[in-house]
């Protein structure tokens, strides 16, 4: 677990925002990922919410220099393995199950498991996890809730996702227990559909400045 934790931390700490993508068309995956990488966002979470997701991960892994593709919305062991086979370098789940913990234990690819309560965080800490996805962040209590966990659950780090925007991202990023945030605003559907890759690169570059 220690080595995989360090791999995950090294991926997440590269940037303040991990783009969370719902890709409808495989053809958009490569230019979208290139636009995000050009703006400074190399780690990219492609969610398994569409039929195009696995092929999109495979295309990004094979064709986009500098990209670190990850898979999100992983719900079971089959999806975990399919995402790894497609080239995912990290796996993200909205919550945690025994099945996911079992497959993650056997896989060389690290898991960023979802948690929303103190008990869930404690359970995952017992399993050896140090970095978790806090989801759904805004609906589960927001930055104030996450701040309240920093003292009793010292040493745990989070990637809050869910309702994060440029307006509230700094509230999270200023917390000592936040390593980065997940956000979809850097790749809005309208810009993707229009093929406005320069616009997405600008949004990615602006997101990188949130670390300052």
Q: Which residues belong to the active site? A: 45, 133
> Which of 115, 116, 60 lies closest to 83, judged by CA?
60
Give the distance between the most distant pair of CA atoms in the chain. 47
Alpha-helical segments (H) within 87-186: 98-106, 118-126, 142-149, 169-173
Instruction: State how far the Cα of 41 lies from the Cα of 48, in Å rounded to an integer.
Output: 20
Q: Three-state secondary structure along 52-112? A: CHHHHHHHHHHHCCCCEEEEECCCCHHHHHHHHHHCCCEEECCCCCHHHHHHHHHCCCCEE
Measure CA 176 to chain center. Answer: 18
């Amino acid at each position: 677990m220690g080595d995989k934790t360090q791999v995950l931390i090294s991926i997440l700490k590269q940037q303040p925002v991990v783009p969370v993508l719902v890709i409808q068309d495989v053809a958009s995956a490569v230019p979208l990922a290139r636009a995000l990488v050009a703006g400074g966002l190399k780690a990219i979470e492609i969610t398994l919410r569409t039929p195009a997701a696995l092929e999109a991960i495979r295309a990004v892994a094979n064709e986009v220099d500098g990209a670190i593709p990850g898979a999100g919305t992983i719900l079971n062991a089959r999806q975990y393995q399919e995402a790894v086979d497609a080239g995912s370098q990290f796996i993200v789940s909205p919550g945690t199950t025994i099945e996911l913990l079992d497959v993650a234990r056997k896989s060389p690819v690290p898991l960023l498991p979802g948690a929303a309560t103190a008990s869930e965080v404690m359970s995952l800490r017992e399993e050896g996890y140090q970095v978790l996805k806090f989801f759904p962040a805004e609906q589960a209590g927001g930055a104030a809730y996450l701040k309240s966990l920093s003292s009793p659950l010292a040493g745990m780090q989070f990637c809050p996702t869910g309702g994060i925007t440029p307006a509230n991202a700094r509230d999270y990023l200023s917390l000592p227990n936040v390593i980065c945030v997940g956000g979809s605003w850097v790749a809005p559907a309208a810009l993707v559909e229009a093929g406005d890759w320069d616009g997405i690169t600008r949004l990615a570059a602006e997101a990188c400045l949130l670390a300052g």
